């Protein structure tokens, strides 16, 4: 995994398309204690520090009712990542493998996700635990943790089951 933009042995850098197919709105900013990638945790922890998610107007209006949820899924834009490595060699073993078999921040669309504990809502700010991103990371979405939802209808024959090919 590339943490400081170096290209390691066995990694493959590809040409990025000339233009993007879609745009995103940054809807807020995440405040964490981490200012460099090497000191940042690789995944958030429930016992990690309390971090701030600051919503920009007008998207702060979308926080209505969010306090009903103990856990949220946070999606953020890993803005300091390069995006062009199709094969990456994690430092742990040095064996190159495809980007989609890794949770590396270096991805064609550098979207990070974390399930966080909602500690408190303070106006346009959420206090949460469980993040793993740099201070100033752009926020792209918030959703209630999917495991808090039950399916609307009971499972039926023919439904996709986890573990099916
Ligand atoms: N939890 C997310 C996921 O699984 O989608 C992100 C995991 S990624 C392995 C976390 C690492 O990304 C951190 O350890 C840090 O090295 C890097 N990182 C964090 N914030 C970043 C940012 N804003 N831009 C680039 N890299 C970032």
d(CA 132, CA 130): 7
d(C-alpha 117, C-alpha 71), whole Å: 5
Ligand 1 center to 137 CA (angstroms) = 9
Mind listing the pLDDT tens digit for each residue in 83-142?
999 999 998 899 999 999 999 999 999 999 999 999 999 999 999 999 999 999 999 999
Instruction: Classify 23-146 by CATH class.
Output: mainly beta
> Domain spans of the chain?
23-146
For the record, the structure tokens of 89 come out as 């060699």
88 lines ligand 1 (CB under 6 A): no
Take atom 12 of ligand 1 and give the residue whose Cα is closest: 105
Mutation probe of ligand 1 site: the residue of 37, 46, 102, 109 with most atoms within 8 A of C-beta: 37
Task: Please give the model's pTM, rounded to 2 decimal places.
Answer: 0.91
Instruction: Indicate whether 3 pLDDT > 90.
Output: no
For residues 117 and 35, the answer to whether their CB atoms sit within 8 Å is no
- Confidence band (pLDDT; 50, 70, 90) for 64? very high
Rounded to whole angstroms, the Cα distance separating 45 from 43 reads 7
């Amino acid at each position: 995994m590339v943490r400081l933009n170096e290209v390691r042995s066995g990694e493959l850098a590809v040409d990025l398309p000339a233009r993007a197919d879609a745009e995103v709105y940054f809807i807020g900013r995440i405040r964490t204690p981490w200012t460099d990638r090497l000191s940042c945790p690789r995944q958030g922890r429930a016992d990690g520090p309390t971090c701030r998610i600051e919503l920009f107007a007008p998207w702060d209006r979308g926080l209505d009712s969010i306090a009903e949820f103990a856990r949220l899924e946070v999606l953020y834009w890993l803005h300091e990542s390069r995006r062009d490595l199709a094969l990456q060699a994690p430092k742990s073993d040095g064996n190159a493998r495809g980007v989609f078999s890794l949770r590396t921040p270096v991805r064609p669309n550098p979207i990070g996700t974390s399930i966080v504990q909602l500690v408190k809502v303070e106006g346009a700010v959420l206090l949460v635990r469980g993040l793993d991103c740099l201070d100033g990371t752009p926020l792209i979405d918030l959703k209630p943790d999917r495991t808090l939802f039950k399916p609307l209808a009971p499972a039926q024959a023919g439904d996709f089951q986890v573990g099916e090919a």
